[in-house]
Amino acid sequence: MAEQEGGRRRLRGFESVGDMVRSLAVVLGAVLVILLITLRPHPNPVKVVDATEARQAAAAVATFKAADPAHPPSGWRLTSARFTPAAVSPSGFSVWHLGWVTKGGRYAALEQSDGPADPLIESVLTAPVDAGPGTGAFAGWERWTGQASSWQAYVKTTGSTTLVLFGSANDAELASLAGSLQPSS
């Protein structure tokens, strides 16, 4: 089939390079418009929180002195802080929790309770497995791993208080957290 162009007839299928460039420009223009409409800057999904209220609640109600880092490791961002008193806790025991995103982008947290260790371990690890005693910075702690995840936990019971450091953080990051904790009574 022939086309009429400026008085000349051109056979279909014999378009010029200029015709292809114009067609490509129209398609690229449409793609650019779609990209401009759909692309949006993504805000940082990590929301930093203030632990002041949770610390005050724990100090007022807890039967234990809540463990807290004197100086959290540099570059860590606090993302969760809460104190759940025994009266409203599903376990019937008070629970203190702080959680961070580490400088390396992993999760590290501490939980402390006036209840037994087993329910606390089961609340932070999926299918926990006792991995034996801790070593180095964790001498005197028990090490646990999650069977269904790469999370790990270190557990220490002192008197009637159980402290658990856990998360996807590596041993060095968790040791840094343990070293920054103020002694709890």
Average pLDDT on 22-48 reads 86
DSSP H helices in 47-116:
52-61
The domain locations on the chain are 2-38, 52-180
CB 125 within 8 A of CB 149: yes
Higher pLDDT, 151 or 12: 151
Task: Write the pLDDT tens digit of every residue in 119-175.
Answer: 999 999 999 999 999 999 999 999 999 987 889 999 999 888 999 999 999 999 999
* Terminal-residue alpha carbon distance, the chain: 92
pTM of the model: 0.75
Residue among 76, 74, 73, 78 nearest 49 (CA): 78
CB 151 within 8 A of CB 162: no
Residues 6+ apart with CB under 8 A from 127: 146, 147, 148
Percent of the chain with pLDDT over 70: 92
Amino acid, res. 75: G
- Per-residue pLDDT at 19: 85
CATH superfamily, region 52-180? MucB/RseB, C-terminal domain (3.30.200.100)
